[in-house]
Amino acid sequence: MTTQLTYRDKIAVLHLGDDENRFSPAWLDSLEAHLAAVEAGAHGLVTVGAGKFYSNGLDLDFLMANGDRAGWYVERVQSLFARILTFPMPTVAAVNGHSFGAGAMLAIAHDYRVMREDRGYYCFPEVDINIPFTPGMAALIQAKLGPQAAITAMTTGHRYGGAAALAAGLVDETATEDQLLDRAVERLTPLLGKNPDTVRAIKSTMFASVVEALR
């Protein structure tokens, strides 16, 4: 399954795929097209993977084969983070499985996160693979985590299971696999109906320094 868009009434459910859901250029193209459709007609957004992975982040094979396009690629990824961070409606990442690196950053750019309680790790492994955070990526994570949680998450590469991710503030709730998507939708339902221009403006002000760093 590639990326796919379904709906629960006014809530759009954006399925990221059923493999590692790495950020290939084609995957980014597909995601951006779906997000445009969501902005045109939905009142809330849930993103979710399938099976073992929410997202394993950057497409390292593409980067290795296209070193001359690394700057372009990182700009595209960071633009996606900024778009989700300031999305004009409430957003929830339903973290169904492993969420690593840029995949974890995509999830943390959402307003809320619900993580499967019994499987999958939430992790920023950059310290272990010798890829320092860009200023924009660091700003994004630090905007959502307390200082001590950010130190641990960003400088140790710690792998957080559901309960530990909840305790650290990486996620807002945990749920069983069967309940995950329902809980994400239920979290959004009472938040629907706000003016999208106002929501975007508020988020853009809240996260102005992060968006500037990302872009």
* Cα 207 to Cα 210: distance, rounded to the nearest angstrom: 5
pLDDT over 70 percentage in the chain: 100
pLDDT at 66: 93
* Cα 31 to Cα 5: distance, rounded to the nearest angstrom: 9
Is residue 104 within 8 Å of residue 122, measured between CB atoms? yes
Tell me the average pLDDT across 184-212: 97
Is residue 50 over pLDDT 60?
yes
Task: For residue 55, list its beta bridge partners.
Answer: 99
**36 C-beta neighbours (distance < 10 Å), count:** 10
Handedness of CA 143, 145, 148, 152 (dihedral sign): negative
Is residue 186 within 8 Å of residue 100, measured between CB atoms? no
* Cα 77 to Cα 75: distance, rounded to the nearest angstrom: 5
Q: What is the DSSP letter of 42?
A: -
Tell me the average pLDDT across 201-210: 98
Global pTM exceeds 0.75: yes
Is residue 7 within 8 Å of residue 53, measured between CB atoms? no
Is residue 175 within 8 Å of residue 183, measured between CB atoms? yes
Q: Could you tell me the end-to-end alpha-carbon distance of the chain, in angstroms, rounded to an integer?
A: 31
Tell me the average pLDDT across 125-147: 95
Catalogue the E-assigned strands of 157-201: 173-175
Element (H, E) at 10: none
Look at the chain and count its residues. Answer: 215
pLDDT at 1: 57
pLDDT at 2: 84
Instruction: Give me the chain's average pLDDT, please.
Output: 96
Is residue 137 over pLDDT 90?
yes
Tell me the average pLDDT across 153-181: 96
